Structure 1
Amino acid sequence: MVETYVIPTINLVVMAITTVLYTLGCVFYGTRKFSKKLHPLFSFSGWIGTLIFFFIYMLGRSITRSLSAPDYLSALYIPTLIIHMVTATITLILPALLLFIGLKRRKGKTDRSMKKIG
């Protein structure tokens, strides 16, 4: 039988991996072609998947009360963590969104200036 604390551990691992991928996507966005594909694919879907996974876990834990976490992880699974995860997701998405808008605006300006020159 699988130990019940595997679920929160998997959740934390998924969060760590998607955070690293998200950070790399933000840093290299627009400079490499592969990162334009990796950024939305791994980062946004990874964070949304992590949030969904967390909400399902919290719902299952509150309904059945059968899932338990080890002592060192149980402090993480309190209802206020939902608020922290949502605000952390927003603070990660906002800079990337601003970066994306800035790159699009810069591309538009260079296209217009090239048309004026040509």
Structure 2
Amino acid sequence: MPTIGIPNVSPLLEAELEISMERVESLLRSHIEGDYPLVVETSRHLVEAGGKRLRPLLTLITAQFGDPSNRGIIEAAVVCELTHLATLYHDDVMDEAPLRRGVESANNRWGNTIAILT
């Protein structure tokens, strides 16, 4: 089974997707860095908790129907993941969830205002 989690995918495509997912992860992590320690800490919180990164992977797979080498594809995949992470923070606020992905939720740790603004 491929390490990216898709059964029966060609080895060439698997290799391309793995390289692209590494680029996505690197760019994702660079986008959560900044000059304000609290913002960086709250942003890192869920990114570092992991996850399947399904949305960026689907973006990369969809790009195979066009020009998968376009730099904008990696950026689009990162935008999809950042948007998804933001919705998870908001979902946790609405549900008053104490945990997300096995770690303390942002709203439980820093309060609803910080979670929403992150």
Which structure carries more helix by proportion?
1
Q: Is the pair's TM-score, using the shorter chain for normalization, greater than 0.5?
A: no
TM-score if structure 2 supplies the norm length?
A: 0.33
Q: Give the structure, 1 or 2, with the largest relative contact order (CA under 8 Å, sep 6 or more).
A: 1
Q: Is the radius of gyration larger for structure 1 or structure 2?
A: 1
